[in-house]
Amino acid sequence: MRRNLITIIFRLFFQGVILQFSDYTEIIDNCSLCLTGLKPANLFCTKSENLYFFYKLKPQLNEKGIFFEILLNCDKKVQILVYRKKMIKTLFQQISYKNALSYFGYSNNCSIEKYIECLKKKIIDAANTKEKCFPNEIGLFLGYPVKDVLAFDSMGGEKAICSGYWKVYHDKEQALTTFNMYDKYKKKFKKELNQGQNLLTILKLA
């Protein structure tokens, strides 16, 4: 077991993506669902130095259709959107998502990069105001149900029937099933990590 662990650490060191063990766990907690194709995107805040992981693996990630964008950079921390371009594009081609994007002030038929550019501008603008609130349409990029995103916006985030990865206003049972699935996979990934498996293999990036 010890020799196996040393081999894994040695391999990761020469791949240039060696991180502290806590950082591995942070990656699983915050973006493993997108990296493994279970979600179109993940948004999370991390220390600026952790960006090295993404920049080092950028060609490998891009080859698999995974991209990342720094949405906000402040106080030695960054807000990162990790996303699968094809998954978001498929979502945004649906009429319900198109209508929702229009409702939030986005032009139709833009490139995914343009949508993210507009989202980034809104986030930066919001950070410079007293409210400092995230644009509610971020849920559309993260693959949340359109009805829940619109209800969250109209209700000011109040009166949800349940909450987990997002606040739920419709179809509680389906949402809970999705939450349980996400939790199950993250638990599985952490178990594999604790057993000494390569992080890149766990996340299907090797």
Q: Given a cut of 90, is residue 158 above it in pLDDT? A: yes
pTM higher than 0.95 for the full model? no
Cβ contacts of 117 within 8 Å, gap of 6 or more:
none
pLDDT score for 129: 82
Instruction: Indicate the pLDDT class of residue 131, thresholds 50, 70 and 90.
Output: low
Q: How many percent of the chain have pLDDT more than 90?
A: 66
Q: Given a cut of 60, is residue 11 above it in pLDDT? A: no
Number of domains within the chain: 1
Q: Given a cut of 80, is residue 6 above it in pLDDT? A: no
Q: Given a cut of 90, is residue 7 above it in pLDDT? A: no
CA 22, CA 34: separation in Å to the nearest integer? 19
| Measured CA distances, 93 to 97, 105, 137, 143, 149 (Å) | 7, 16, 16, 13, 17
Cβ contacts of 20 within 8 Å, gap of 6 or more:
none
Residue-wise pLDDT tens digits, 26-85: 889 999 999 999 999 999 998 888 888 888 889 989 999 999 999 998 878 899 999 999
CA 149, CA 138: separation in Å to the nearest integer? 9
| In-domain check, residue 132 | yes
Instruction: Indicate the pLDDT class of residue 87, thresholds 50, 70 and 90.
Output: very high
| In-domain check, residue 206 | no
| In-domain check, residue 166 | yes
| In-domain check, residue 8 | no
Instruction: Indicate the pLDDT class of residue 15, thresholds 50, 70 and 90.
Output: very low
Q: Quote the domain boundaries for residue 85.
A: 19-201
| In-domain check, residue 172 | yes
| In-domain check, residue 14 | no
Name the residue with higher pLDDT: 97 or 10. Answer: 97
pLDDT score for 47: 87
Q: How many other CB atoms are found less than 10 A from the CB of residue 18? A: 16
| In-domain check, residue 124 | yes
Mean pLDDT value across the chain: 88
